[in-house]
Chain A
Amino acid sequence: MPELLQPVILGEGAPGRRGVVIPEPAVAAPELAEVLPASMLRREAPALPQQSELETVRHYLRLSQLNHAIDKGFYPLGSCTMKYNPKVNEWAARLDGMANIHPYQPESQLQGALEIMHDLQQWLCAITGLERCSLQPAAGAHGELTGILMIKAYHQHRGDARRTRVLVPDSAHGTNPATAAVAGFEVVTVASDGRGLVDLADLKSKLDDRVAALMLTNPNTLGLFEEDILEIQEAVHAAGGLLYYDGANFNAILGTVRPGDMGFDVVHLNLHKTFSTPHGGGGPGSGPVVVGKALEPFLPVPIVVRDASGTYRLESDRPLTIGRVKAFFGNFGMHVRAYAYILAHGAEGLAQVSRDAVLNANYLKANLKEAFEMPHAQPCMHEFVMSGSRQKAKGCNTLLMGKRLIDFGIHPPTIYFPLIVPEAMMIEPTETESKETLDRFVTAMHTIAREVDETPEVVQQAPHTTPIKRVDEVLAARKPVLRWRP
């Protein structure tokens, strides 16, 4: 029987071994058994590994080598904005004065950190074209929840209790309907039309005095700019609803178009997408929210303000606030990184970021349109969605082609999303990839398309070069093994 590539560390080692030595108490004090209730003392030690430092280091280094990562190769994962994470950002967040500070220190000891947060708030307001910013949310979905709770508070404050619905396009990310539901709203889906854009007639038929908000991603998950946005915002506002901007695709318009100018009332930004903070294998993220005048009173507390003397402080006295959405002030380490990223670019550089992101996506689309089905002909923004339906008919579906791409050292695109395109492959190259890398990707995709015609078994059995073969995901769900046991 084949074994795990690397044993689970919990079962490893021998009693008496350890990877770090802790200082002795070196004070006169009673032992814990004398001061704590007997019922609360641990009877059996947890079965943690017992290894030397080297053995532990080797274990995790070997695990790291089993991953694909941006620093290793192209990662065109749609809607995830897998751009390069600059090294100077990591340096900055690890500075002693950034990493080793406590949220309950007096403000006088935190002026540098508060200045960073204050300036980042201001810059994100400028970048979005809105009024006030809270850096507290820990991730995109957390920002969504914050925004939707503010919208709820806004309507309640106006005594408008009938607004129990949130409209979400059928192309939206899953977090949008999930967030609206968690916030206690009924989710109503708006259809997309033949262009891949919000179906205006369907939207208007669903706008009434029960609608609290429309949640919109622009460009949408097909990578298409909602060209009717000004008409959409007028209609939603005329019906008394508010407009929520999901910033998942903000890299498409960074420095070029502002959600505030489009009429949005609240935006969340993903610092871990647009502003280059690392994805970390699934977090930490950071999801600041930026709001216009209507929602400003409801922002979570605290926010950082600068008083007339130039001193920075935390402001919590906001009577209509929805409260805290997280302990302390948000993922500060991510704020530092985003601050460094904005400094590196300035206004013109950020505009160049989005323009190159759009250029790269259109370049790939133009060079793949012969070999693959393109459901939407118009120019895309930072990403595009193509369909593997032609190849599926020949026995190689999108999943298989994605797995085959791994053999070329490239991470598969986002697949089977959005749901409205069959056999969807959502491709987002980002602006940090060179023309040479994009050309290699085009060559790889053409090779795979040829293999589908000539040697489909090569695609069907992919991947061939990975440390493990295709994983049985059904088995994992049917017979869940969710932890190691002694």
Chain B
Amino acid sequence: MTYAYLPHTPADRAAMLDSIGVSSMDALLSHIPKALREVRLDLPRPHAEAEIQQRLARLAARNVSASQQASFVGAGVTHRYRPAAVDQIASRSEFYTAYTPYQPEVSQGTLQAIFEFQSMICELTGMDVANASMYDGSTAVAEAALMAVRVTNRPRVLVCGSVHPEYEAVTRTYAQGPGLVIDSLPTRADATDVAAVKAALTPDTSALIVQVPGVLGTVADLAGLADVVHAAGALLVVVADPIALGVLEAPGRWGADLVVGEAQGLGNAMSLGGPHVGYMACRDAHVRQLPGRICGMSQDAEGRPCFTLTLQTREQHIRREKAASNICTNQALNALFSTIHLALLGPEGLRDVARTSALRAHHLADRLTRLPGCRLAHPESPFLSEFVLTSPVPATQLRDALLARGILAGLPLDTWWPERTHDLLIAVTEMNAPEELEALVAGIAAVVSAQGGQRSQEAVHA
């Protein structure tokens, strides 16, 4: 058997062993205890490339993709338009087969792209500094919690109910390391309840974490929140959707100390939840506590401006157990996808993505709430492009019934909260054309009325 990625011929191997001065590969490995070298692995036989393609194409066909159905599922991962140029350019070998840019003289492309990513994140969030990326939104939130603890030297973190439940779960896992206490505010719809926030802040609270838009799509008036948090000596951590920031005020303008989030919707495929890209931005005063890689400007021996990784005394490869975080590899290529997408969009394109999604979502919500028994779960809360519909039919039953019509109607909220059996979280993006909205309205109408008909028949027979 020969392998496409292994260049040596038997003659090459023989010549190389000869050059080393050993008789065989086994002789070269003889310092490994013999018992350890006798392994038999239960793995598939080697496949030729054509066979690999056939097998993977078959497996891919067993998934239902977003191009095969109308998809209204969001909740942290969004089906958005990815301009053709993004994948074409980011897929250049010079980007994706390079390592971390530790040698700046041969890495200016990656370094400048990171610098541009950091700059764009600062522009969107209204913050001073951003790092080169985090694994995803969830770990960015967890790292923000740890960073707030380092900055304030307080052991508790307060998480608003507007934060994605999986982000909170990851934060709780990370908290097991240093033994932090995570307190939760139960308000699911938003974080406007300033009185509740005030009551929950303790002298040991390092940060309040709030998400905008909230995980249920709501946009609360958070303008007064920072004062309350700062008065208690804590930091305000804002989890923000960078696309929403095309129309929403930069959190830096309303007092955020740390802004983190998930940038998948900018240029990255959904890909079953990863690889995506987290971001993290802070104030200048806290940059020495920021985890992860940071690219900065410098100059070369001839005085030409250029880029290099910097402030590395925060990082594990220099500081070992005293580092700000253990993060090493992050999501550079995914950040590049986001950077190119943002460059193509510009300020107006970014606003358009957020606006088209939001206006379609409001149109859809208006249509759906005219159906019998259907209403918004949080009618008092403004929302952007995602909302919760309460229907007379259990949400999972409703979702499943619509699959047959080629519609994935949303996320049943009993996925996260068993008691919310009739709530469906519906996300709308620029990918949901007006005809798809009509199809969803018609589909839900049909299921609801069939259910209603069944009920009245049952009532008659009873």
Contacts and interface: CB of A to CB of B under 8 A. Distances in A.
Interface residues of A, number: 208
B108 interface: yes
B333 A141 contact: no
A48 B21 CA distance: 60
A363 B103 CA distance: 26
Contacts of A358: 25, 28-29
Interface stretch (B196-204, B220-228, B229-237, B454-462): B220-228
Given A25-B360, A139-B135, A340 B345 contact: no
Contact of A282 (B101, B176, B321, B325): B101
Interface string A90-117: 1111111111111111100111110110
Contact of A48 (B262, B298, B345): B345
B100 to A, nearest CB: 4
B129 A324 contact: no
A258 interface: yes
A167 interface: no
B56 A141 contact: no
A359 B12 CA distance: 10
Q: Say what secondary structure dominates the interface of chain A.
A: loop
Contacts of B118: 482-483
B363 A28 contact: yes
B94 interface: yes
B274 A272 contact: no
Given A28-B363, A178-B325, A343-B47, A281 B110 contact: yes
B100 A279 contact: yes
B28 A362 contact: yes
Contact of A261 (B39, B67, B108, B298): B39
Nearest to B176: A149
A3 B179 CA distance: 49
Contact of B61 (A41, A57, A97): A97
A63 B79 contact: no
A330 interface: yes
Nearest to B340: A60
B347 A50 contact: yes
Contacts of B97: 69-72, 85, 278-279
Contact of A104 (B130, B274, B329, B411): B411
Contacts of B39: 129, 255-258, 261
Nearest to B320: A177
A224 B38 CA distance: 19
A318 B40 CA distance: 31
A182 interface: yes
Interface string A339-378: 1101111111110110110111011011100000000001
Given A37-B219, A182-B146, A472 B323 contact: no
Nearest to B57: A95
A215 B29 CA distance: 23
B328 A75 contact: no
Q: Which 9 A-B pairs have the closest CB atoms?
A: A328-B273, A97-B60, A280-B333, A112-B62, A19-B344, A284-B275, A282-B332, A71-B93, A178-B316
11 contacts: A19-B83, A36-B248, A42-B250, A126-B42, A227-B33, A257-B39, A281-B98, A281-B107, A281-B333, A326-B170, A346-B45
